[in-house]
Amino acid sequence: MDQQSTRAKQLFTDHYGNYFQMHREGNYEEYKTYEITKEQEVAWYEELIEKNAGELSFRNWDAAVQLLAIAKNYPDSRILERVIAFAARHVMSSDSIVKLMYAEHIIEIIKLVKSKAEIDMLHRAYKTAAQILDDIMSKPLIIDPGHDLQSLSLKDKKSLNHRAAKNIEVIKELLASDK
């Protein structure tokens, strides 16, 4: 890859392919000068999806946040598939904060990729998010060091349960809109 392509890819990946963000930071005009094809951008999106999906962790949800950012610009059902596969295998053993963050990210990704995803995958995603939220409400509040309720504008277990219940209602609305 030549130096210009490398710079274009850096701009693209730094902004998750979001032209508006490039423009806000004063990089869009430079990016346009590289004349990158849509096919190349799709390849870069796919690389971003694979990279971030491979970095999913219950210790740090940055990769999930980055996949959500990618889905805003490139709504690919593989993003949802990878996040729910990870969440179903690993998130149930994490603390209440991580569970809530993953459930909420799954819901937001569903909204973004819904038109591109198969009904079966959407139903798996609804089920995974609902199971995580049910687990939050049914078990005691567990917070690992470094996580806190205040960062999520929550006060206590009751407010956490209320937020989880509201998210379950969102899932029900999304499910109803599938019919």
Q: What is the pLDDT of residues 140-164, one digit of tens each?
A: 999 988 888 988 899 999 999 999 9
Report the C-alpha gap between 67 and 15 in whole angstroms.
12
Instruction: Give residue 147's pLDDT.
Output: 87
Q: What is the 3-state secondary structure of 109-151?
A: HHHHHHHHCCHHHHHHHHHHHHHHHHHHHHCCCCCCCCCCCHH
Instruction: Give residue 1's pLDDT.
Output: 67
User: What phi and psi, each to the nearest 5 degrees, are found at residue 67?
Assistant: -65, -35
User: What phi and psi, each to the nearest 5 degrees, are found at residue 144?
Assistant: -75, 155
Angle between helices 96-113 and 77-90 (to 10 degrees): 160
- The ranges of the chain with pLDDT < 70 are 1, 179
Instruction: Give residue 113's pLDDT.
Output: 97
**What is the residue-wise DSSP string for 47-111?**
HHHHHHHHT--SS--HHHHHHHHHHHHS--HHHHHHHHHHHHHHGGGS-HHHHHHHHHHHHHHHH
Instruction: Give residue 14's pLDDT.
Output: 95
Distances (CA, A) of 123 to 72, 84, 113, 114, 156: 21, 11, 13, 11, 30
* pTM exceeds 0.75: yes
Report pLDDT digits (tens) over 48-63.
Answer: 999 999 999 988 779 9
> The tokens of 146 are what?
């470094």
Q: Where are the domains of the chain?
A: 59-177
Report the C-alpha gap between 16 and 49 in whole angstroms.
10
